[in-house]
């Protein structure tokens, strides 16, 4: 990776570890961003990156987002992320078993679960060699659906709407996260518009929940109230942000904005952006609250995301700041105030 180490040199992350297991064709990166509040939490993303540097950049960004999610949610955990560089040489079952051993060797300082491109079978393979992997993807995606819903309610309230009923939402991505968001919005009587790179997925979800489908390249400009990106991150850059017709963006994807200044482009067009460290935080809340904090009912923690989103959006409006800057300020204050010597240490799950 010579010539591509800028993320390492510019980041404040605690550690970055490169893994290689040639017999299984495995190349992976683990970034531990911060553990001031507790063990690092973050899923495993398996993706065919254009380059090793792209994988490294993604790992650092996702790990940092996890630190912020945990801090904003009041969790006793920090942030981490593992990315697996997918290619034709990857022999998945032995690769993930081997990764599980490496996670187990960390003794619980990194807790993981699934993420984009990582299959249930991969998590099962890991679980054969580590205790520190959360396999129940259903409850995690459902939790993301809940925090997106709560964040949308906060956003709608800021715009003078008493509820989401009667509003329209465009969902980009109809996988597990998009479907979880759609199910909650359908119950809330929201008009839904779907798009996915796999158009059969979009049609299936539309047939099941009602709503309409549009081509993938038309979803960003759909004439709706709220745009909800629920697939891969970085979908909004300075160019695509100009295509957004909605008055708000609130999604279940991580790192929706390609760069920080994209939020300025949205603000210039009076489009509210709900930071995805809030809206997409449900999975980490549900996973960490149960396996690290031993909380039997995570419902209050999920519901509190709506209150935090309301606080962040109001402060951003009052102070004429990016909402992400306000969220970062609140999260950073909690991390800075943490005392590693006195924080509660949790038993393995």
Distance in angstroms (rounded) separating the CA atoms of residues 253 and 279: 9
Over residues 186-202, the pLDDT tens digits come to 999 999 999 999 999 99
Of 77, 41, 33, 72, nearest to 302 by C-alpha is: 72
Residue 5 predicted with pLDDT over 70: no
* 69, 81, 201, 232: the active-site residue: 81
Over residues 106-160, the pLDDT tens digits come to 999 999 988 889 999 999 999 999 999 988 765 789 999 999 999 999 999 999 9
Of 91, 99, 116, nearest to 19 by C-alpha is: 99
| Topology of domain 139-333, CATH | Rossmann fold (3.40.50)
Q: Output the average pLDDT for the chain.
A: 91
- Once rounded to an integer, what is the mean pLDDT over residues 226-241? 95
Topology agreement, domain 6-67+77-135 and domain 139-333: yes
Helix (H, G, I), strand (E, B) or coil at 163: coil
Query: For the chain, which residues make up each domain, given as ranges?
Result: 6-67+77-135, 139-333
What's the pLDDT at 342?
41
Distance in angstroms (rounded) separating the CA atoms of residues 238 and 257: 9
Of 191, 141, 193, nearest to 164 by C-alpha is: 191
pLDDT confidence band for 343 (50 / 70 / 90): very low
Of 316 and 341, more confident: 316
| Topology of domain 6-67+77-135, CATH | Rossmann fold (3.40.50)
What's the pLDDT at 247?
98
Q: Is position 89 annotated as part of the catalytic site?
A: no
pTM: 0.82
Q: Which residues contact 172 (CB under 8 A, 6 or more apart)?
A: 178, 195, 196, 216, 219, 220, 227, 228, 229, 230, 231, 235, 251
Of 55, 38, 37, nearest to 47 by C-alpha is: 55
């Amino acid at each position: 990776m010579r010539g591509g180490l800028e993320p390492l040199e510019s980041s404040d992350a605690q550690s970055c570890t490169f893994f290689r297991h040639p017999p299984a064709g495995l190349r992976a990166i683990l970034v531990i961003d911060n553990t001031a509040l507790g063990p690092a939490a973050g899923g495993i993303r398996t993706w065919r990156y254009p380059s090793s540097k792209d994988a490294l950049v993604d790992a650092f960004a996702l790990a940092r987002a996890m630190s912020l999610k945990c801090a904003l949610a009041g969790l006793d955990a920090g942030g981490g992320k593992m990315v697996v560089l997918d290619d034709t040489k990857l022999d998945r079952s032995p690769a993930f078993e081997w990764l599980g051993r490496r996670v187990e060797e960390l003794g619980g300082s990194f807790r993981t679960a699934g993420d984009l491109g990582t299959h249930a079978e991969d998590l099962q393979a890991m679980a054969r060699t580590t205790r520190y992997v959360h396999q129940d993807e259903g409850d995690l995606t459902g939790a993301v659906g809940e925090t997106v819903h709560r964040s949308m309610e906060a956003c709608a309230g800021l715009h003078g709407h008493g509820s989401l009923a009667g509003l329209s939402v465009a969902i980009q991505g109809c996988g597990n996260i998009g479907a979880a968001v759609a199910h909650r919005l359908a119950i809330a009587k929201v008009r839904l518009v779907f798009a996915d790179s796999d158009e059969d997925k979009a049609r299936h979800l539309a047939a099941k929940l009602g709503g309409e489908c549009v081509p993938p390249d038309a979803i960003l400009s759909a004439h709706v109230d709220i745009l909800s990106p629920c697939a891969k991150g970085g979908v909004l850059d300075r160019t695509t942000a100009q295509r957004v017709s909605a008055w708000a963006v609130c999604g279940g994807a991580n790192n929706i904005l390609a760069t920080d200044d994209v939020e300025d482009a949205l603000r210039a067009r009076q489009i509210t952006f709900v930071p995805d460290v809030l809206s997409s935080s449900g999975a980490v809340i549900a996973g960490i609250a149960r396996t690290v904090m031993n909380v039997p009912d995570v419902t209050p923690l999920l519901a509190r995301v709506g209150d935090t989103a309301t606080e962040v959006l109001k402060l951003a409006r009052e102070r004429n700041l990016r909402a992400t800057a306000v969220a970062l300020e609140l999260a950073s204050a909690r991390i800075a105030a943490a005392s590693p010597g006195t924080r509660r240490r949790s038993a393995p799950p």
